[in-house]
Amino acid sequence: MTEVPPQLRWACRRGMLELDVLLGNFLTEAYSKLPKNEQDLFEHFLTNNDQDLFMWLTGKEICANPDSAKMIEMIRHHAETRHKA
């Protein structure tokens, strides 16, 4: 498994608690299991501003970027299924 770089932990700490929880849980529980290309997608996804991330992850807006849309789906899926047996 890939170790999570410390700078990535800081990048997941945002100005909104909701984003901190969604991104932090995904980073801690799913990131290291991703193939390198999807890890790179996640890292690039974090360069978006908090307002866009929030709107996309909560489904209030649709993201036009296909790579970001893929990452949004992965993060949402993780959030919805992380406590299911």
pLDDT digits (tens, 9 = 90+) for 11-33: 999 889 999 999 999 999 999 99
**Is the pLDDT score of 8 beyond 60?**
yes
- CATH label of the domain that carries residue 43: 1.10.150.250
Q: Is residue 54 a part of any domain in this protein?
A: yes
**Is the pLDDT score of 77 beyond 90?**
yes
Task: Tell me which residue range forms the domain holding 49.
Answer: 6-81
What is the mean predicted confidence (pLDDT) over 43-61?
Answer: 96
Q: Is residue 1 a part of any domain in this protein?
A: no
* Residue 64 DSSP class: -
Q: Is residue 28 a part of any domain in this protein?
A: yes
* Secondary element (H or E) of residue 62: none
pLDDT of 2:
63
Per the structure, the count of domains in the chain is: 1
* Predicted structure pTM score: 0.89
**Is the pLDDT score of 53 beyond 70?**
yes
